[in-house]
Amino acid sequence: MKRLRSATAAAHDQLDRRVMAGQPFASLERYALFLQVQYRFHARVDPLYHDGALGPVLPDLDGRRRLALITQDLCDVTGRVLDEPRLRGDAIDPAAGLGWLYVAEGSNLGAAILLKEARKLGLSEAHGARHLAGHPDGRGLHWRQFTTALDRIALAADGEARAAAGATEAFRYVHRLVGDAFGD
C-alpha cells in the first residue's frame, strides 16, 4: 500500500489538480461531465470487482462497486438512462487490477469533499450524488479494511511492479477522460 502510494503520488496529484481545474461543481452541466468521467472509469474497472482471483483476497469486493450508483446519479442529473457500458481495452490482469482497484477505492476517501460541493448544487446521497456517499461503517474504516487486505497479498516483485503500473495507468486513464470531458 505504501509503495503504491509512493509510486503513484505524482500521477495522483496531477489528476486531482486536473479534475478541479475542470470545475465539476460550477454547474449541474459541469457535474454531469464529471459523472460521465466517473461512469467511464468505473465501467472500465467494474469487471475487477467480479474477478475470481481478487474476490477471495479483498474484503466485500463485489459490495464496493459503484457503477450502478453512478448510472443512477447520471439519470438523476441528465434525465437519461444510459446503455450498458461498452468496454474498451484489454482485460486487466489481477496484479495490475490491484492498482486499478487502489485508485477506485481511494477515490472514495476524497469523495467526502466532493459530496460537500455536490450539495451546493442541490444534490445528495439520495439524488445525484449517491456514488459519493460514504460507507455506512465510515470511509476511513472501509478504506483501512481494503488496504489491510491489500497489504496481506503476497506478490512477487514483478507483481508489485504490475500493481504499481496498473495504478499509474488508472490515474492516467482518468486524466485522459477528464481531458476529453472538460477539454484540455
> What CATH number does the domain containing 74 carry?
1.20.910.10
- The reported pLDDT for the residue numbered 85 is 63
pLDDT band at 89 (very low <50, low <70, confident <90, very high): low
Prediction pTM value: 0.93
Q: Is the pLDDT of residue 118 over 80?
A: yes
Say if residues 38 and 131 touch (Cβ distance below 8 Å): yes
- pLDDT digits over 123-159, tens only? 999 999 999 999 988 999 999 999 999 999 998 889 9
pLDDT band at 60 (very low <50, low <70, confident <90, very high): confident
> CB atoms < 10 A from the CB of 110, how many?
14
Q: Is the pLDDT of residue 59 over 80?
A: no
User: Which is more confident, 109 or 173?
Assistant: 173
The range of the structural domain enclosing residue 158 comes to: 2-182
Domain count, the chain: 1
Residues near 78 by beta carbon (within 8 Å), at least 6 away in sequence? 32, 35
C-alpha cell at 119: 450539495
20-30 burial by CB neighbour count: b if 16+ within 10 A, else e?
eebebbeeeeb
